[in-house]
A and B are shown apart, each in its own frame.
Chain A
Amino acid sequence: MSEVEERVALTPERLAKVQEIIKRYPAGQQKSALLPILHLVQEQFGWVSAASMDMVAELLDIQPVEVYEVTTFYTMFHLEPVGKHVIEYCRTGPCCNMGGEGVYDHLKNRLGIKEKETTADGVFTLKEVECLAACGWGPCFQIREKFYLHLTNDKVDEIIDELRN
């Protein structure tokens, strides 16, 4: 219990950022700050827990359900704990044309996990996503803000080795 409560305070820098974000919108429209703040929450904790959703509701003076219905609608928010690196792999047609399916099979073999699973050492979680607006530079995946483009089996191996060390 105490662990959960500890987890749901944003850092003072992020709290200051929350106040700055709320001021971007007209008075009374603070709910517009919801998505930017959820991104801040995920940046800090790696995922969005029920406790942190309640915290966000309080920060914005809205009902908790208004936060829940948003986090469950948008695919970027992880609603369960994830590994240190979440690999968000593009599975959409244009990337498949560029060889995306073969590279994906290689990645899954290499990690020894399926979609939505986390490696035993807790380093990688694998998630399939739709088109990342990088189709001509595919196959591609994203880890947090970084795009990994023009993937090949060898390149995937290099990336995994580097992130594991």
Chain B
Amino acid sequence: MAEITKILTEHIDKPGIETFKVYRENGGYNAVEKALKEMTSDAIVEEVKKAGVRGRGGAGFPMGMKWSFLAKPEGVPRYLVCNADESEPGTFKDHYLMKSIPHLLIEGMIVSSFALGANKGFIYVRGELMYVIRILENAIEEAKAAGFLGKNILGTGYDLELVVQPGGGAYICGEETALLESLEGKRGNPRNKPPFPAVKGLYQCPTVVNNVESIANTPWIVMNGGDKYASFGVGRSTGTKLISASGHINKPGVYEIPLGISVREFMESDEYCGGIRHGHQLKALVAGGSSVPILPAHLVYETAEGNERLMTYESLSDGGFASGTMLGSGGFIVMDETTCIVRNTWNFSRFYAHESCGQCSPCREGTGWMTKVLERIENGKGSMSDIDLLVDVAKKIEGNTICPLGDAAAWPVASAIRHFRDEFEWHITNPTEATKPGAIYRGEPILA
């Protein structure tokens, strides 16, 4: 097997890597020296563009392109905001990265802020991770003491302050404009766009919002060049990706994979998930966090056309909504035959209903409706027309809201019904059977 390059996690298991000293001994902060002393801001942006790294927060928007959209009016401060809100069910990679190797994010924040001409950066961390916030604040103090942060960094004249901001427990604050509202001390209501944050973001100033993992890639890109980064992966899926693997597998955990390995290899090899637990069968996969469409087993390793399914943005979405899914945030949730799809769909739907900010009525009302209907089907009180009602409500939410949370709530429901309709019907036609403790529908999912 080809040698696997680890861009983010090469040193993650070294004892003491969370300290400045050990991180530095392993080449840490060399990228700050190189960027500030040998490179211009524009040159760094160019390398990030060449790398083709796509936003790792879920949407996959090219990072270099986003950076080049940043408005630069004279005399107006610009901000870099790191999105460490990580609340998408199934996703725990940023948590793992920040707690294990905090200086990687700090180093990334420094080179990225320098590239954007920002003198202040914020790391917005979900409030539940207060212990991680303390780890990051400690790392910032260490970097400052060593002259890598603060005024006149390494004598280059560049100043940078980093602030770690806690959230308060609200999934919606992961949406970038809700995050900015929250950072301004308000409720996390997403903003109408335009204007985009690149023009009017934090405090109405030009702002770039990037995910933890996106930013953590930048020191490596500075040291090794964008072309080298782009040499890993397939097509427009360049570099590596952190995958949070959970569910019915032998080895749940966070793995850094080169984009382009097959889903089968990721699922079955001992290096990664180690196969389905206890010799069970794969039933379904949610490949990129709870909001992406669910795939039934027969579409996991192969696309509807019979091509091998790869861990890339393109291959996972092959087949569109009919028979594909999305790489999303890399929240890889594996379900074996002991999983009740109806219950899982209800659970996810309840999550979105709970987390809707309530600004748009299709999202506020629709998520509540879907949850109620799913709950009644799960509890053996549904009727056949409920299935079509769910499809109808999901359709009415999709595309009719201020932010994508509405879509995120609609897709799991629509896709679960598309691929597992017989299981919903079984709950309705066999209510006594379906509500027995531990009862699971084991029929064949219908083909797409």
Contact = CB atoms under 8 A, between A and B. Distances in A.
A136 B246 CA distance: 4
Contacts of A38: 168
Given A73-B187, A133-B128, A135-B246, A35 B167 contact: yes
Interface in A90-136: 91-94, 96-98, 129-136
Contact of A97 (B86, B94, B186, B333): B333
A26 B185 contact: no
Interface stretch (B21-29, B58-66, B108-116, B248-256): B248-256
Interface in B334-352: 334-335, 339, 343-344, 347-348, 351
Contacts of B92: 133-137
A136 B290 contact: no
A66 B186 CA distance: 8
Given A39-B166, A92-B347, A142 B128 contact: yes
Contacts of A35: 127, 165-168, 182, 185
A138 B247 CA distance: 9
A138 B167 CA distance: 22
Interface residues of B, number: 57
B165 A75 contact: no
Contacts of A96: 343-344, 347
A33 interface: yes
A9 to B, nearest CB: 22
Nearest to A100: B347
Given A92-B351, A131-B351, A134-B92, A32 B127 contact: no
A97 B182 contact: no
B404 interface: no
A74 B347 contact: no
B185 A93 contact: no
A142 B130 CA distance: 11
A74 B167 contact: yes
A49 to B, nearest CB: 16
Nearest to A34: B185
A31 interface: yes
B55 interface: no
A131 B168 contact: no
Given A74-B127, A98-B252, A135-B92, A36 B166 contact: yes
Nearest to A136: B252
Given A32-B183, A133-B86, A135-B90, A93 B290 contact: yes
A24 interface: yes
A20 B422 CA distance: 59
A40 B390 CA distance: 43
Interface string A26-56: 1001011111101100000000000000000
B169 to A, nearest CB: 4
Contact of B203 (A26, A62, A98): A26
Contacts of B188: 73-74
B169 A129 contact: yes
A70 interface: yes
A92 B89 contact: yes
B419 interface: no
Interface string B25-62: 00000000000000000000000000000000000000
B331 interface: yes
B220 to A, nearest CB: 24
B184 interface: yes
Interface in B285-344: 290, 331, 333-335, 339, 343-344
Nearest to B354: A130
Interface string B158-177: 00010101111111000000
Contacts of B77: 26
Contacts of A148: none
Nearest to A88: B128
8 contacts: A24-B163, A31-B184, A36-B165, A39-B130, A70-B168, A75-B169, A92-B290, A94-B246
Interface of A: 24-26, 29, 31-36, 38-39, 60, 62, 66, 69-70, 73-77, 88, 91-94, 96-98, 129-138, 142, 144-147
Interface of B: 77, 86-92, 94-95, 120, 126-131, 134, 161, 163, 165-171, 182-188, 203, 244-248, 252-254, 290, 331, 333-335, 339, 343-344, 347-348, 351, 354-355, 357
Given A94-B247, A133-B128, 12 more contacts: A29-B203, A34-B185, A66-B186, A70-B186, A74-B168, A92-B89, A93-B89, A97-B335, A133-B86, A135-B333, A136-B246, A145-B130
